[in-house]
Amino acid sequence: MSGTLVLVRHGQSDWNLKNLFTGWRDPELTPLGVEEATAGGQALADTGIKFDIAFTSVLKRAQDTCNIVLEKVGQPGLETIRDQALNERDYGDLSGLNKDDARVKWGEEQVHIWRRSYDIPPPGGESLRDTGARVWPYYLTEILPRVLRGETVLVAAHGNSLRSLVMVLDKLTKEQILGVNLATGVPMVYKLNADSTVASKVVLGDMSGAH
């Protein structure tokens, strides 16, 4: 009997609020981000779910979201593995820049290509394909085997590292994934088959209406 995989994008960070490219920089959650993570954790708690292990990135906004979720489901201190393989996409030279300023510097079309193409990275940074190239092997070797053993696994990470996983789990093309945006703090609950395909997927409500 295979298990359950729960993906949660971190709540709003200080740099999300300021419209900055964040990437591997390490800002804190905003008060709204804490609320989003709390609401996501409560939604999971309401299902009665219990985790066997958690995975997160080495960045604080994802770790704090992970901790808040575990607190809400009554499992503070659960074993949590942190790895930079789950980090946000590295925006390279764009990191720390205001998105509007970047458009002035490089042009609207070029910035849109960097943000939204599948395989064209910004200067010094990663494309979504590059991000997937480190997320997918980590998922296959560290996360998936636990789910297939029947464990319930939490992954609290970032918009692009999780989009890489959603692309594979939902069998999306590189064109389809470009239109997918993951809501902050909203859990996606996957049940997997023994062959690692998806048996079911439930998104536990968009929490944005709760504010």
| Residue found under tokens 């989003």 | 36
Q: Which one of the listed residues 35, 36, 88, 126 is annotated catalytic?
A: 88
Asked if 71 is an active-site residue, the reply is: no
Q: Which among 95, 96, 33 has a CA at the least distance from the CA of 60?
A: 33
For helices 31-47 and 60-72, give the axis angle rounded to 10 degrees: 40
Coil, strand or helix: which one is 160?
helix
Q: Which residues contact 59 (CB under 8 A, 6 or more apart)?
A: 24, 26, 87, 88, 158
Asked if 211 is an active-site residue, the reply is: no
Q: Which one of the listed residues 10, 35, 126, 158 is annotated catalytic?
A: 10
List residues with catalytic annotation: 10, 88
